[in-house]
Amino acid sequence: MEKIIQCENLTHYYGSRKIYEDISFDVNKGKVVGLLGKNGVGKSTTINILMGFLKPTAGQCTIFGEDSTDLSPLSKRKIGLLYEGHVQYDFMSIEELEIFYSGHYKQQWKKDFYYNLIDKLKVPYSQKIKHLSCGQRSQVVLGLIFAQDPELLILDDYSMGLDVGYRKLFVDYLRDFVKKNNKTVLMTTHIVQDLEDMIDDIIILDNQQPLLTMEMKSFKDDFKKFTISDSSKLDDLPKNSIVSNYEGFNNDLILYSFENEDKIKEYLENEKVSYSKINSENLNFENAFLGYTGRY
């Protein structure tokens, strides 16, 4: 399968503060990939490295086979970027903004993609961007990205400032656009439940865990919550290849794991934990994500 993005042994520091060290991941053509994690784990840093705005401390990222720190104009035209903050030229009208952007893309520009989405807003094309709501501005940006007809969409925290209605509209249009046009997407968000039925693969960055890269379906099917009732121990337990995370709640020990119940019993026996019973359950994506990364 063709790899659109490849990051190998990526390390980055801000001064003496380590963001991450020696991480590697790929984004394959035609896949929608969620780059996920809590605040401060390096999601936006990774986007900045991919776009060439930031040079990594060590390692390399390539997009379309080119080093991300030295992308050619041709490769840059293949990328549609939504960066935090949405629209820069907010003094322009909806129509003026489209005309301005179209001049940079020539024959590649798909004007109808822009106006098909703008028409959903039911505002005149003469409306100034600065007078639109945050949700409306986000739709303008999405329309601009669609009109670029990029091969790769990089969306950094698309949900910023959007209420649930505009988030759903954004995701629905994005899903339809990607499916119909076989696009590749790398996206970050803090609203992980929006992505559950959309993304194919996940990359989870976490300060306390190894980098996790896997198919969304496998994560949802295989990652489970185990409730250990009347546990004799609620803390000071190791996180390892069996137990990814744990938390104590009243007299119960909650374990999160990709392993089966037999492996959990073996783990508890090795840690000399007594209990009355074990109950396992599958989780929706949001709760599985929190189980893996921890709530705090």
Q: What is the mean pLDDT of residues 196-212?
A: 88
pLDDT tier, 209 (very low <50, low <70, confident <90, very high otherwise):
confident
Least confident of 27-31, 105-109, 149-153: 105-109
Answer yes or no: is pLDDT of 85 > 70.
Answer: no
* pLDDT band at residue 86 under the 50/70/90 scheme: low
- Whether the per-residue pLDDT at 75 is higher than 70: the answer is yes
Confidence grade of residue 258 (pLDDT, cut at 50, 70, 90) = very high
Beta carbons of 181 and 146 less than 8 angstroms apart: no
Q: Which residue has the higher pLDDT, 229 or 163?
A: 229
Q: What is the pLDDT of residue 87?
A: 63
**Cα separation, 83 vs 180, whole angstroms:** 24
Q: State how far the Cα of 177 lies from the Cα of 277, in Å rounded to an integer.
A: 48
Predicted local distance difference test score (pLDDT) of residue 164? 78
Q: Write down the pLDDT at residue 194.
A: 77
From the list 47, 71, 26, 24, the residue with the least C-alpha distance to 184 is: 26
Is 129 within 8 Å of 97 (Cβ atoms)? Answer: yes
Tell me the whole-structure pTM to 2 decimals.
Answer: 0.89
DSSP letter assigned to residue 194: G
pLDDT, greater one: 101 or 196: 101
Which residues are within 8 A (CB) of 102 and not within 5 positions of it... i.e. 6 or more apart? 109, 111, 147
- The topology (CATH level 3) of 3-217 is Rossmann fold (3.40.50)
Average pLDDT over residues 142-164: 84
- For the segment 230-254, the average pLDDT, to the nearest whole number, is 94
Report the candidate in 136, 117, 135, 114 with the shortest Cα–Cα distance to residue 127: 136
Predicted pLDDT of residue 160:
64
Distances (CA, A) of 66 to 47, 52, 238: 15, 11, 41
The rounded distance, in Å, linking the Cα atoms of 184 and 186 is 7
> Among 9-23, 25-39, 48-62, 87-101, whose mean pLDDT is lowest?
87-101
Sorted by where each begins, the domain ranges of the chain are 3-217, 223-293
- At residue 84, the pLDDT reads 60
Across the chain, what does the average pLDDT equal?
90
pLDDT of residue 121: 83
